[in-house]
A and B are shown apart, each in its own frame.
Chain A
Amino acid sequence: MELYMSLAIGVLFTVGVYLVLSKSLLRIILGTSLLTHGVHLLLLTMSRLKTGAAPLLGQKAESYVDPLPQALILTSIVISFGVTSFFFVLAYKAYQKLGTDDMEQLRGEENE
């Protein structure tokens, strides 16, 4: 199971990196959100995907899945939500003011 997850994460990373390297700002933001998806799945996978009950003590199971990575992922998800929404608004504002979403044109010292 870990193997399939690793392959899927690899695909997410590949697509994310490809999008981040593109010219359009919106594609770059999509790329970063794919990357964060990949990394959250990686956190989940790295704690081993053994079968067990959800980490709720009421379930009275023999074994539970590791609860720590789930807490880490939850933290990381909200952080990346915050940053992504800020990034979107910034991109919108930059589009309004600079009049372009082409990163190629935002390279140098022009546009001041």
Chain B
Amino acid sequence: MNNLLVLPLLIPLCTAAILIFLKNNIPVQRWLSALSLLATVACAGKILYQVRMEGIQTLHMGGWLPPYGIIFVADMLSALLILVTAVVGAFCLLYSFGTVGEQRERYYYYPFFQFLLVGVNGSFLTGDLFNLFVCFEVMLISSYALIVLGGTKKQLRETLKYILINILSSTLFVAAVAYLYGVVGTLNMADLSLRVAEAGQDGILNVIAILFMIVFSLKAGLFLFFWLPGSYSVPPAAVSALLGALLTKVGLYALIRTFTLIFYHEPLVTHSWIACMAAATMILGALGAIAYSDVQRIINYNVIITVGFIAFGLSVTADHAMDGVVFYLLHDMVAKAALFILGGLIVHVTGTSQLQEMGGMMKRHATMGWMLFITALAIAGIPPLSGFAGKLLIIQGGLEEHYFWLTGVAVASSFIVLYSLVRLFMSAFWGEEKPRPATQAAVSTGMLLPAVGLCFIMIMMGIGSEWVYRFVSEAGNTLINPAVYIDAVLKE
């Protein structure tokens, strides 16, 4: 029992509730949301420390023992993810101060931001399948509002599609929960894992597993990503940074949790599906990343490639691959936030999102240019930076398990990531300076600061890989041995 676990959920929730009453007082809204994020970071750090020192932490809501009550579980993976969520959230918030505009701030931007964090943190911490559904919905409803806030034509058009897709996938989620409840009669994840193991993962449970795979793939953008490029390009950069860094990762986390904890008995059926989908995602994402010359599209397709890459790691189910999945997931949340923020800055400065219409920004915006360069190298996985260790571990796992073709696709996709991002860098920052739009947009230090912070984290994660690896390998170990998780939840 550890009441600390509910705080990453409770702090943003209370802040959001208070912020609703402060509609017109924007400075107070900013201060309060910044303070609440700092508090969340502190809490997440404390939870991580406790998990490191004392093992997996659990909290039984209302004192009902599992499997009867709702339970919050923080194993190493969840603890790391909520910490990174809080840090990335803090930087996105800092970026939105200067960029999101007073109109949006007046219409409940910060409360929606906090509610999104409630949903994300809840999804990472919960140990109950239906509670996961509810946290997903909290997160999704806030994301609908954040995407459509502002109400321009293209926002309305894309939000219609985004909502429709998510209603469908939520409906399927409830259907999958219903079937699973019908077969095994419980909803607590640890208890589910035990009962699925007892029943043997036969035909019906495999069908349910694949239904869950479809649901979470729709949320994560694994192969079923057709909604993603459109919906992530319409909101302001601060919002798409938040969505790109967190939302797809929650879907991936749900995939990882379900297929390492509950449905791990028939890897030939489930995991080979994931492997095929991962390969298709990497290939299609790579095609998209090369095909477009629009900054936002390029970044969105990079999100998709990464989802494929992490899913490939998950499908391998080897020690190294799992460590790699966790490492790369953490790195990618930071790196994608940085990439979206830098992309937003480039569009802000040049006033266009087409690569052909920009160029020569290096003279005036050298810091931004070098940060984009560092981010590109980190995402591609160049050694001193944070993306390297994760990619290396996943590829090592893939080779050890003789997934040669898939590993080849994964390596090739890294080259394409590098190509697409360096192309972005070269056409925006090198070459002749293009005539600026009449109203020259200025970039203040405050707008650059979040990108600087995120780049600093990427460099430190790369240099301190050994130190990060100690945490990551513990998380990977829990994923490989679900018994550790089950024991911690059920035996108290």
Contacts and interface: CB of A to CB of B under 8 A. Distances in A.
A31 B389 CA distance: 47
Interface residues of B, number: 30
Interface in A12-35: 20, 25, 28, 32, 35
A61 interface: no
B156 interface: yes
A25 B163 CA distance: 12
A112 B154 contact: yes
A87 B174 contact: no
Given A69-B181, A98-B153, A106-B157, A90 B163 contact: yes
Contact of A46 (B148, B161, B181): B181
Contacts, number: 94
B181 to A, nearest CB: 6
A42 B178 contact: yes
Given A79-B137, A86-B163, A87-B163, A93 B156 contact: yes
Interface residues of A, number: 36
Given A46-B179, A97-B153, A106 B160 contact: yes
A72 B185 CA distance: 13
A59 interface: no
Nearest to A91: B160
Interface string B163-193: 1100110110011011101100001000000
The B contact surface, by secondary structure, is helix
Given A39-B178, A86-B141, A98-B156, 8 more contacts: A25-B160, A46-B179, A46-B182, A47-B182, A90-B148, A91-B160, A106-B157, A112-B153
Interface of A: 20, 25, 28, 32, 35-36, 38-40, 42-43, 45-48, 68-69, 72, 75-76, 79-80, 82-83, 86-87, 90-91, 93-94, 97-98, 103, 106, 111-112
Interface of B: 130, 133-134, 137, 141, 144-145, 148, 151, 153-154, 156-157, 159-161, 163-164, 167-168, 170-171, 174-175, 177-179, 181-182, 187
29 contacts: A32-B168, A35-B168, A36-B174, A39-B171, A39-B174, A42-B175, A42-B179, A43-B177, A46-B182, A69-B178, A72-B177, A75-B130, A75-B134, A79-B134, A83-B137, A83-B141, A83-B167, A86-B145, A86-B163, A87-B164, A90-B156, A90-B163, A94-B157, A94-B160, A97-B151, A98-B157, A106-B160, A111-B154, A111-B157
